[in-house]
Amino acid sequence: MADSPEEIQKSIRKYLWIGGILIFFTVVTVGLSYVELPTHGLNILVGMIVATFKAALVALIFMHLNHERILIYKVLAFTTVFCLALFLLFIFSASDPLVFEGF
């Protein structure tokens, strides 16, 4: 924790910078919605990358996860791998010929 006024000002300045970066990438996200990339899947991929970057900034800075013990990173890594596996299963199911055609 910040004990002196100088440290408090430094923390406030850091939070304002991160807030500005988040606003900038929000504008980038909105701008990307108007850009037509070669495939629709690529649009989604780029949007998810930007969203992941913004979520990481919020988690690390505003939720103070950058000062946590190693256990939290192991739990987050497992969650990330599990989430990616679910995304991949969804993508692979789209190419499965046995899946209901109306979906």
pLDDT tens for each residue of 4-51: 888 888 888 988 999 999 999 999 999 988 988 888 888 888 888 999
Considering the domain architecture, whether residues 17 and 58 belong to the same structural domain is answered as yes
Considering the domain architecture, whether residues 17 and 27 belong to the same structural domain is answered as yes
Give CA–CA dist 36/47, Å, rounded. 12
Considering the domain architecture, whether residues 35 and 48 belong to the same structural domain is answered as yes
Considering the domain architecture, whether residues 63 and 78 belong to the same structural domain is answered as no
Q: Residue 74 is encoded by which pair of tokens?
A: 């192991």
Instruction: Write the burial class of residue 33 (CB in 10 Å: 0-12 exposed, 13-18 middle, 19+ buried).
Output: exposed
Tens digit of each residue's pLDDT (9 = 90 or more) over 79-94: 989 999 998 888 777 7
Domain of 92?
Answer: 68-103
Amino acid at 82: F
Q: Per the structure, how many domains does the chain have? A: 2
Is 80 exceeded by the pLDDT of residue 96?
A: no
Give CA–CA dist 55/11, Å, rounded. 20
For residue 40, which phi and psi values (nearest 5 degrees)?
Answer: -65, -35
3-state secondary structure of 47: helix
Considering the domain architecture, whether residues 1 and 12 belong to the same structural domain is answered as yes
